[in-house]
Structure formats: C-alpha cells, structure tokens
Amino acid sequence: MATIALATESLMRSGHIWTWEALTATNTDGAPADEKVGSIAFTEKTVTVTGNFGTSGECTIQGSNDGTNWFTLNDVFENLAVFTSAGIMLLAENPRYIRPAITAGSGAIDLDIIIAVKANLHFR
C-alpha cells in the first residue's frame, strides 16, 4: 500500500491548492499536509472530492496535531467530513496536519481530493 503524494500550487500570497490524485482501494492514504505547506496558517479550507467511489467507497478528511493520532474532521455545520459521493465542504477545524483517507469500500475506487486553502488576513 502506497501513500499518495501531496501536490501544492500557490495561487497568491494568501492561498494555495493542495491535491491528492488517485486514492484507491489499495493506495488509501494521502500524505499529510503540515506546517511546511502552511496547514495552520491557512484557516479556511474547502475540500472537493471527485471520482469513482467503487462499491461503498468512503473518503474521510482527517486531522492530527501530532502526526500519529488521526481524527475525522467536521464541516462548519458539525457534520463529519466523510464523502460517500462527489461533493464539496468547508472544514471547521484547523489542525497541524490534514490528510484524506479511504476508510471504506472496495472495487474501482479512484478519487481525487482537492483542498483550497486561504489565509484569513486581518488588516488594521
């Protein structure tokens, strides 16, 4: 089982796109985004999951502050960040590490996860 690499793209000084492509029933975890790519600095995170969910496929967006203990994140309405079909959601938490993981399903799972992140800049 391989971990899917994180690809980052800078949009401007206050935003980035994080992408994990081709999470499958075999390659189930995305490499964590961490403080090196600004996970804490970017307080607004919008997740999009697209692709083939196979048989009962499920993609969970997880967070950790120590890189060892992972927990399912929530959207801003306190729903778990778990996708069973293509969709988009705004995350509520801002952990040190964040990653996608295939947590259920089999067959032809092939998912792409994109997280658009934005710094919450305050000007005085």
Q: Say if residue 122 is exposed, middle or buried (CB neighbours under 10 Å; 0-12, 13-18, 19+).
A: exposed
Say what the pLDDT of residue 121 is.
Answer: 60
As a whole number of Å, the CA-based R_g of the chain is 14
User: Which 8-state DSSP code applies to residue 119?
Assistant: -
Say what the pLDDT of residue 43 is.
Answer: 82
Residue with tokens 């992972």: 70
Say what the pLDDT of residue 19 is.
Answer: 95
pLDDT along the chain (124 residues), means of 10: 82 83 90 75 90 96 95 97 98 93 94 89 49
Paired with 66 in beta bridges are none
**Can you tell me whether residue 35 is helix, strand or coil?**
helix
Q: Which domains does the chain have, with CATH numbers?
A: 3-118 (2.60.120)
Q: Tally helices (H) and strands (E) across the chain.
A: 0, 9
Say what the pLDDT of residue 124 is.
Answer: 41
Q: Say if residue 104 is exposed, middle or buried (CB neighbours under 10 Å; 0-12, 13-18, 19+).
A: middle
The pTM of the whole model exceeds 0.85: yes
